[in-house]
Structure 1
Amino acid sequence: MSDMLREAIMPYSLPDKKIYTYEDYAKLPEGAGYQLVGGEIIVTPAPGRRHQRLVLRLVKLFDDYVECKNLGEVAVAPRDVYLGPHETYQPDILFIAKDRIDISAEDKVNGAPDLIVEILSPSTAYYDLRKKYRVYEKYGVKEYWIVDPEEKSIEIYNLTDGQFHLTVRQVDAGETASSLLPGFTVHLDILFKDI
C-alpha cells in the first residue's frame, strides 16, 4: 500500500495486503475517489474542470436520449461497478439497458453495464486504456467509449465474439454514433467547444 493511500484511509483501518477484495473496498468512505483495480486500491484525485465539463455535456446527451426513448438507466461517477472480487470501478458514465436494470442495486452495479464512457485524465489514462479496458472486455461491456480531451477525440469499441473492436475513431470535429443506441450521436465540435 502506498504512503499516500495509507494516509488517506488511515482512519478506516484497512488491513495492509498485497491484494484487496471488494469486502475491503466496501469499508472505505463513501463517495471517495477509490477504485479496486486488479486487487489494488487506486486513489484518484478529483477530476479537473475540463474533465467535469465533458462529463456534464455527455451525461446530459446520454440521459436525455435514454430517458426520451425509455431505454434504461444512465449513471455518473462515483457509482461503483462490481465486476469481480478484485475489480470495482467508477466509470465516468455508464448505461444499463432496461431489460438488465436488475443489476443496478442501491449500493452498486452488480455486473457489466451495457455501455461505459471513460474520459482520460493524466491520473487515470493508464488504467482506462489498459487494465480497465481488458476487464471491461472480459466481463462483457458491449460498448466502450474513450474520450480524450487533449486530442479532442472519441474512440468507440464494440464487443464482438468476446473481444473489443475499434469501430469509431473521430478527432476534433464531425459526428460520432453509438451502435448500441441507434440514433444517438455526438457532435465533436460542440462537445469539445471551449474545452
Structure 2
Amino acid sequence: MPIPNKKEKYSYADYLTWDEGERLELIDGDIFNMSPAPSRRHQQVLRELSTAFSIFLREKECEVFFAPFDVRLLVDNKQDNDINNVVQPDLAIVCDQEKLDDKGCNGSPDMIIEILSPASIKLDRWIKYQLYEEAKVKEYWLVDPVNESVEIYLLIDEQYKFQGVFTKGETISVHTLPDLKLDLDQVFM
C-alpha cells in the first residue's frame, strides 16, 4: 500500500503497511523520505565501515547491521500503534541480542553511524542527533565522505559530548568496542 494521505502523526503500525520499496523513516510520527539513493562515494565508505565492523565482530556478542534495517527507538514496551520513531541508520551496532527480532532492532543500538549526504545533513546533524541522544545511543558517528572525516559523540551523563573530528591519515578507537581501531585511510580509500 502506498503512503496514505497526510495525517497529523504516523505510527510504526502505519509504517508496516507502506510499500517496501519506499525508504522512509519515522521521527516523532513525521515521515522523512530517504531518497534519492545514496551516492557511489557514500556506498564505498559504507562498504568499508561495514566490512571492518563485520570482520571485527565475527564470533563476538555484538552484531553490525546496515540500511535498510529498521531501528525502533524509545519503545519501552509500546505496541506498534504507539511507536513513532523508526529509523534506518547507515550502520547500527547492537550488543544486546534481546533487542533483535525479525523486524529489526526494538530499542537503542549501542552505536549508530550516519554517513552524510547533501540531502541528509540537517536530519543527521540535528534531528537524529537529538533523537539518538534522547534514546541513549552510547556512541554516534557522523561520517563525511566528501571531507573524509568522522565526528564522534559519546553519551556521557545522558548528553552527547563531542570527542573530535578525525580525518584520513588517522586511526580512531571505537569506544563501544574498545579493541577495535579503524585506519581512516582504509575507510576513505
Q: Same fold (TM over 0.5)?
A: yes
- Match in the other structure for 2:91: 93
- For the pair 1:50 / 2:41, whether they are aligned, the reply is yes
Provide runs of 4+ in structure 1 moved above 4 Å: none
Q: CA deviation at 1:31?
A: 4.9
Match of 2:158 among 158, 162, 176: 162
- Write out per-residue CA displacement over residues 3-32 of structure 1, whole angstroms, 9 at most, x where no aligned residue: xxxxxxxx5252421222212111112253
Residue identity in the other structure for 1:119: I
Residue identity in the other structure for 1:65: F
- For the pair 1:115 / 2:106, whether they are aligned, the reply is no
Aligned residue pairs, count:
180
**Structure 2 unaligned residues grouped into runs of 5+:** 75-82
- For the pair 1:33 / 2:37, whether they are aligned, the reply is no
* Structure 2 contact 9–30 (Cα < 8 Å) conserved: yes
In angstroms, what is the RMSD of aligned CA positions? 1.4
Q: CA deviation at 1:71?
A: 2.9
* Structure 1 contact 119–148 (Cα < 8 Å) conserved: yes
- Match in the other structure for 2:138: 142
* Structure 1 contact 14–27 (Cα < 8 Å) conserved: no
Residue identity in the other structure for 2:111: L
Please state whether the residue corresponding to 1:137 is helix, strand or coil: helix
* Structure 1 contact 25–41 (Cα < 8 Å) conserved: no
Q: CA deviation at 1:79?
A: 0.3
**72-81 vs 28-37, which moves further:** 28-37
Residue identity in the other structure for 2:92: L
The structure, 1 or 2, with the larger RCO (C-alpha pairs under 8 Å, 6+ apart) is: 2
- 1:1-20 mapped onto 2 (5 Å cutoff): 11-12=1-2, 14-20=4-10
**Structure 1 unaligned residues grouped into runs of 5+:** 1-10
- Write out per-residue CA displacement over residues 174-193 of structure 1, whole angstroms, 9 at most, x where no aligned residue: 11111111121111122112
- Match in the other structure for 1:82: 72
Q: CA deviation at 1:162?
A: 0.4
* Structure 2 contact 48–186 (Cα < 8 Å) conserved: no
Q: TM (normalized to structure 1)? A: 0.87
Higher helix share: 1
User: In 1, distance between residues paired with 2:47 and 2:163?
Assistant: 24
- 1:120-139 mapped onto 2 (5 Å cutoff): 120-139=116-135
- 1:58-69 mapped onto 2 (5 Å cutoff): 58-68=49-59
